Amino acid sequence: MTILILGAGQLARMMCLAGAPLNLNVVAYDVGSQKVVHPLTGEVYTTTLTQAIDQADAITAEFEHIPDDVLTLCCASNKFYPGKAAIKTGGDRALEKALLSKTSVKCAPYQLITEKAHLEQAVIALGKPLVIKTCQAGYDGKGQWRLKSDEQIEQIWSEMADFIASGTDIAPHSIIAEQMIPFDREVSIIGARDKSGNTVIYPLTENQHTNGVLTLSIAGKEKTTIQQQAEDAFNKLATELDYVGVLAIEFFDVDGQLLVNEIAPRVHNSGHWTQQGTHSSQFENHMRAVAGLPLGNTQLQRVTAMINVLGQAAIPTQVLSVPDVTSHWYGKTAKPGRKMGHINVSAATLHELGERLAELSEHLPEEDYPGVLATSTALI
């Protein structure tokens, strides 16, 4: 079988790596260059998008900000998963909030903004501080502003206008203001749903962000009550979207109550730990779901932490001397802050994981790899 992935970044690469042992041939469509490419080697094929769609047995995506014409072509083939509604919802915070409201899944109090007066009203209705986000096109904390005082309204409004004007596919004046949630921590749930509606769900992941970007995830710490809340949200949202594939949901944990931050209709950075922590990774399960194969085991095999490598030209090779460490390199050109690769480290117990993180922290400077040492101290 051949699977076509929209997007040719690291997520497509890791789906390709997971698909090969399943005898799945994976090709990617690079939306930027408009070329069909090999997701691992970058080899450019002469195939057009239309030909790639015809040749594919199933089509999926590694990101949600897909140009309308491409999405329409893919959906017309009836081979596209997780489906148009899921991709549109994941790519637009207004649609996302409407879905949460329809399914009675809790999120931060918010207001939609289409003109400057609404922003002033939101400050009065929701209080301060606020997080202001463009509804479309944001990722890794881009397209977001923190409003702490009324004096910032003018400047944030003009910066937002510039951001919106800089993108080609962003609807003007589509903005959301959310209460800034004083969360205890951030967690995410990742699960897969197959074409018959069967689901498998991974254990909850605890996530640390630095400047809006995920830096470290850890799996295997959870209490069942919180896991249950996250699974309920997953089941409601996946059912409502008639979802096929892997779906990720990010939450704020406020005193044991989960509020949804956002959803991602795809494999997700906070699920990279599943490559070593479970029997079937999120990449494998996404490939299985879209290819119509039975879903694989998502139970935790070993507690695992994932550390993102941001902007570095290589992973320090000494990390491989620490037991049960794996390196995942994406083969991209280094740029400051860019996701270049990740490191997974597994252990039999949380205590042992803490010891391994302590060892890793000797090779990973705090300024480039925040949270490694602090997490190790917390676990030991």
Return binding residues for ATP: 93, 133, 138-144, 178-181, 186, 209, 261-262
DSSP3 helix / strand / coil % (the chain, rounded to 5): 35, 30, 35
DSSP run (H or E) holding 49: helix 49-55
Q: Does 138 bind ligand ATP (CB under 6 A)?
A: yes
Judged by beta carbon, residue 140 or residue 159, the one nearer ligand ATP is 140
CB 131 to Mg ion: min, Å: 11
| Residue 131 interacting partner from Mg ion, ligand ATP, none (CB closer than 5 to 8 Å by kind) | ligand ATP
Q: Which long-range contacts (CB under 8 A, 24 or more apart) does 297-301 make?
A: 297/200, 298/191, 298/192, 298/200, 298/201, 298/202, 298/203, 298/274, 299/203, 300/202, 300/203, 300/219, 300/220, 301/277, 301/346
Q: Does 141 bind ligand ATP (CB under 6 A)?
A: yes
Q: What are phi and psi of 239, to 5 degrees?
A: -70, -45
**Interface pick for ligand ATP out of 123, 131, 160, 372 (rule CB under 6 A):** 131
Place of tokens 């977001």: 144
Q: Does 127 bind ligand ATP (CB under 6 A)?
A: no
First to last CA, the chain: 46
CB 139 to Mg ion: min, Å: 5
Judged by beta carbon, residue 139 or residue 330, the one nearer ligand ATP is 139
Binding-residue total with ligand ATP (CB under 6 A) = 17
Q: How many CB atoms lie within 10 A of CB 262?
A: 18
Place of tokens 């029997």: 279
Judged by beta carbon, residue 138 or residue 203, the one nearer ligand ATP is 138
Judged by beta carbon, residue 97 or residue 133, the one nearer ligand ATP is 133
| Residue 328 interacting partner from Mg ion, ligand ATP, none (CB closer than 5 to 8 Å by kind) | none
Q: What would the x/- binding string for ligand ATP be over residues 97 to 116, using CB under 6 A?
A: -----------x--------
CB 322 to ligand ATP: min, Å: 27
Instruction: Please answer whether residues 203 and 288 qualify as being in contact, where contact means their C-beta atoms are separated by less than 8 angstroms.
Output: no
Instruction: Please answer whether residues 17 and 328 qualify as being in contact, where contact means their C-beta atoms are separated by less than 8 angstroms.
Output: no
* CA-based nearest residue to 110, from 125, 95, 99: 125
**Interface pick for ligand ATP out of 30, 62, 92, 186 (rule CB under 6 A):** 186
List, in order, residues 6 or more apart from 153 with CB less than 8 Å away: 116, 119, 120, 123, 147
Choose the stretch contacting ligand ATP; rule: CB under 6 A; options: 46-54, 138-146, 218-226, 327-335.
138-146
Q: Does 375 bind ligand ATP (CB under 6 A)?
A: no
CB 262 to ligand ATP: min, Å: 5
Judged by beta carbon, residue 107 or residue 290, the one nearer ligand ATP is 107
* CA-based nearest residue to 205, from 178, 233, 226, 235: 226
| Residue 141 interacting partner from ligand ATP, Mg ion, none (CB closer than 5 to 8 Å by kind) | ligand ATP
Which of positions 198-217 make contact with ligand ATP (CB under 6 A)?
209, 212
Partnered with residue 6 across adjacent β-strands are: 29, 61
d(CA 229, CA 40): 37
Which of positions 247-286 make contact with ligand ATP (CB under 6 A)?
250, 261-262
d(CA 82, CA 290): 8
Residues that bind ligand ATP (CB under 6 A): 108, 131, 133, 138-142, 178, 180-181, 186, 209, 212, 250, 261-262
Given the rule CB under 5 A, which residues bind Mg ion?
250, 262
